[in-house]
Structure 1
């Protein structure tokens, strides 16, 4: 991975699901809805002054949302924050920088 670039797309792990779970309420508040499911499917990461995670999340049967989550450096002891998101995505939509 080049410095500042995003990693290759990888299957979501338990750690990525935990990060997604921590921003679910932030996204629900912004979208003014409750998601019936919130399953991380795959992700990319980008090292900055912390880490940006681009996560494809399944929010309903055939509905996906892409979320960008910023995780600050460990010594800052801050929770992950929702930086941006894209709604109405399909399973085959590629995760890209946004």
Structure 2
């Protein structure tokens, strides 16, 4: 997980950053929850993180733009705890989903 030390605690990072492999892994871990919530449990054609901002709290909140097919973006908000469970990191938790519709530049 990227952990930016330059931003103030509780502030969202700006401008949005390009999503890398670590953010994509976070998205992959909540994909099923997103599909259940907005797609009736059916898989999306794709699920590719594109941009994100983060908020440092007791852990990290991420707002991530995810491309779910060739023309549609959604925005998800995910919380990642800094605590570990006995067999590794605590999995991320999906907090919110918002549909943007056709590819566009809607703000986070």
Common topology (TM > 0.5): yes
Q: Which runs of 5+ in 1 are unaligned?
A: none
Higher helix share: 1
* Superposed CA RMSD: 1.3
Structure number with larger C-alpha Rg: 2
CA distance, structure 2, for counterparts of residue 80 and residue 43 of structure 1: 15
Partner-residue secondary structure (3-state), 1:60: coil
- Tell me how many residue pairs correspond in the alignment: 95
TM-score computed with the length of structure 1 as normaliser: 0.89
CA distance, structure 2, for counterparts of residue 72 and residue 3 of structure 1: 15
Q: Which runs of 5+ in 2 are unaligned?
A: 1-6
TM-aligned CA deviation for residue 20 of structure 1: 0.5
CA distance, structure 1, for counterparts of residue 97 and residue 58 of structure 2: 20
Partner-residue secondary structure (3-state), 1:56: strand
Q: 2:11 aligns with which of 5, 16, 22?
A: 5
Consecutive aligned runs of 4 or more in structure 1 exceeding 2 Å deviation? 74-77, 88-91
TM-aligned CA deviation for residue 62 of structure 1: 1.2
